[in-house]
Homo-oligomer: A and B are copies of this chain.
């Protein structure tokens, strides 16, 4: 049975095409800077937003029209696997990502949940073998169920920590089974609601403890996987411990976890923290911690997580520029942690929305590549910082100066000459690189 029967395999037809179910910019095998677009972009589809969600929001119930409901939760879960892989194949997407609760019913006990996961992942594995589609990352949902009301690793209830730990172990086991390339931790309830009743130090210690246990277990079972922490500043918590890239790195450094963890950065989460997404990417790069990205978009004026599909060319251009500068995103990828609007409730919208995101990223890649090829920003940077490549500047970066020698230099140096940034010119010129 076909779930997306309106749609054939989506193909690149170029910008002249009137076919809404065609790529206008994403041409998977087209080479850009010596690699195919597919190799650069490593797109993934998110199970939760695409398959599990129903379009509800805090002020309204679900609107999504979906055609995979079965008679039992397990039957529905199985139908969803079929539908999901049909969509992946039709979109020509190579990767996917999921939370444990997305793919299988949680049942009446942890035991039953694990057994359901085993059964469904058998099916997923079959599909993966059949299609060549790979697991970018999986994760455990330790925030939705009422038992996590006070957090998971940071709950004040040790039984909850234990429960979360069991889910983490299962996540690793499933990653082994499915050959996952990364494992993500997003701490939906790892933070505080109020400082008045929070032992922040114990909570952070415990959060680090769970991560260390995951590292130890993966090593024990010999699973070479990239662990990723996903920053988000707030919502649902008043403050989430993995607030932004820099905060998360501070935490990883404190607990000696830098060598095992990188960051899974999300556009909307950057916005909520008051940052641009390119800022978060750059900060992560400066700590050698850029792991993977959750590609989505936020209206800048809205203060909650909207997880829109990315359609802004500036954003994708600057994102791809950082990724190119990073030498690529692998073993991470570009995961569409994005949901169709509540008003885009048809099955077709799932296809159209992914096409929109993929085309926008394709444009971003091409624009960024053009900037790299013409050394647009490289030249600006090289010229701007030239003073550190010789003389006093070079001695500073070579650590050959101290306060006393520099004081002497400054007292002797009669005139300092700065140069204009010409920033308006740069920003305007950048527009001409947009493809």
Contacts and interface: CB of A to CB of B under 8 A. Distances in A.
Contacts of A342: 149, 236
Contacts of A312: 314
Contacts of A381: 197-199
Contact of A272 (B156, B303, B345): B303
A337 interface: no
Contacts of A370: none
Contacts of A199: 381, 384-385
A301 interface: yes
Interface string A341-358: 111111011001101110
5 contacts: A62-B146, A197-B421, A213-B403, A309-B427, A356-B425
A4 interface: no
B416 A163 contact: yes
A218 to B, nearest CB: 9
Interface stretch (A52-60, A84-92, A176-184): A52-60
Interface in A97-128: 110-111
Interface string A201-217: 11011100100011011
Interface in A416-431: 416-428, 430-431
Interface string A239-281: 1000110110111011000000000000000001111101100
Contacts of A426: 194, 196-197
Closest 4 CB pairs of A and B: A303-B303, A158-B393, A356-B428, A165-B406
A397 interface: yes
B61 A380 contact: no
Contacts of A147: 416, 418
B302 A300 contact: no
A404 interface: yes
Contacts of A430: 196, 311
Interface stretch (A29-37, A66-74, A130-138, A407-415): A407-415
Contact of A110 (B162, B200, B393, B410): B410
Question: How many A residues are at the interface, by size bracket?
Answer: 35 or more
Interface string A376-406: 0100110011011001110011010111101
B159 A420 contact: no
Contact of A341 (B15, B341, B424, B432): B424
B162 A392 contact: yes
Nearest to A146: B63
Nearest to A148: B60
B303 A420 contact: no
A77 interface: no
Nearest to A111: B411
Contacts of A431: 311, 313, 359-360, 363
B160 A418 contact: yes
Interface string A37-66: 000000000000000000101111111000
A434 B20 CA distance: 18
Contact of A359 (B162, B360, B428): B428
Contacts of A24: 432
A403 B406 CA distance: 54
Contacts of A249: 250, 254
A380 B428 CA distance: 31
A163 B410 contact: yes
Contacts of A149: 60, 63, 342-343, 345, 418
B274 A403 contact: no
A424 B388 CA distance: 46
Given A20-B425, A404-B169, A250 B385 contact: no
A172 B194 CA distance: 40
B302 A235 contact: yes
A223 interface: no
Given A272-B303, A381-B197, A340 B424 contact: yes
B217 A403 contact: yes
A150 interface: yes
Given A158-B392, A159-B387, A312-B314, A150 B418 contact: yes
